[in-house]
Structure 1
Amino acid sequence: MSESSPEERLAALYFLRRVQVADLARTDRWIADAEQRAAEHARRRPPPPAPDWCVQYGMGGRAVRPAMVHTSECWVPGVSMEGVSRAQAIEALTRGGVPPCILCRPERELGVLD
């Protein structure tokens, strides 16, 4: 195999670079198309239903003990809440020692702590 001149090698490397740039541009178009399809799919999908119960956490978020159990209709300004299942809300109220909200009274709807 004969060795190519430095000019031939440089020309071959520039050719390789052009091919790779074209491949990268094509891949970027494929990614953009896939992202657009995923965004359209997400817009068509209905939002998940709101949870029936929520647990309020204090300033430390989930790192601290839950502060209160609420119904999903309860609105307390500036409070961070996380949706939970019926079983989780009952567990928090009965075994977890988490107090119910005095405004929305979730224990009545759940049938506990009456």
Structure 2
Amino acid sequence: MSVSPEERLRALRFLRRVQARDLARTGQWIAVWEQRAAEWAQRPKPVVPDWALQYGVGGRAARPAMVHTSQCWVPGATMEGISRNQAIEALTRSGVPPCIMCRPKRELGVLD
């Protein structure tokens, strides 16, 4: 079965209209996401604490288990950001042990 040139042209023009509509819709999506990206870039960045307190089983209701630097990460652990003074107090007065991997005592200058 052969297609006449007029039918072929009609099909190609239809295809061009569909593609133009799709291209316009894609342009709208891009504009929306460019706006969202600009808004995202303007958001304030979260402050990362320099020290972290890890809690034992039971989360924050449990006794603190370990002091870490902020770069140390323990999978599945409940951790909370703390200040330098809080980290020193936890290590010296509260008897919370330091992490043996990140060695916060060395970073804090706390000697035994």
Q: TM-score range by the shorter chain?
A: 0.5 to 0.7
> Helix, strand or coil for the counterpart of 1:49?
coil
Given that residues 74 and 104 in structure 1 are in contact (C-alpha distance below 8 angstroms), is that contact kept between their aligned partners in structure 2?
yes
The separation in 2 between residues aligned to 1:67 and 1:89, in whole angstroms, is 12
Q: 1:95 aligns with which of 87, 93, 96?
A: 93
1:47 Cα offset (Å): 2.0
Given that residues 70 and 104 in structure 1 are in contact (C-alpha distance below 8 angstroms), is that contact kept between their aligned partners in structure 2?
yes
- The residue type paired with residue 72 of structure 1 is S
Q: Which runs of 5+ in 2 are unaligned?
A: 1-37
Count of matched residue pairs: 75
Identical counterparts, % of pairs: 73
Mapping of 1:68-79 within 5 angstroms?
68-79=66-77
- The residue type paired with residue 99 of structure 2 is C
Q: 1:62 aligns with which of 56, 60, 63?
A: 60
TM-score (norm 2): 0.60
Given that residues 94 and 113 in structure 1 are in contact (C-alpha distance below 8 angstroms), is that contact kept between their aligned partners in structure 2?
no
Given that residues 60 and 78 in structure 2 are in contact (C-alpha distance below 8 angstroms), is that contact kept between their aligned partners in structure 1?
no
Report runs of 4+ in structure 1 exceeding 6 Å deviation.
40-43
TM-score (norm 1): 0.59
The separation in 1 between residues aligned to 2:92 and 2:76, in whole angstroms, is 26
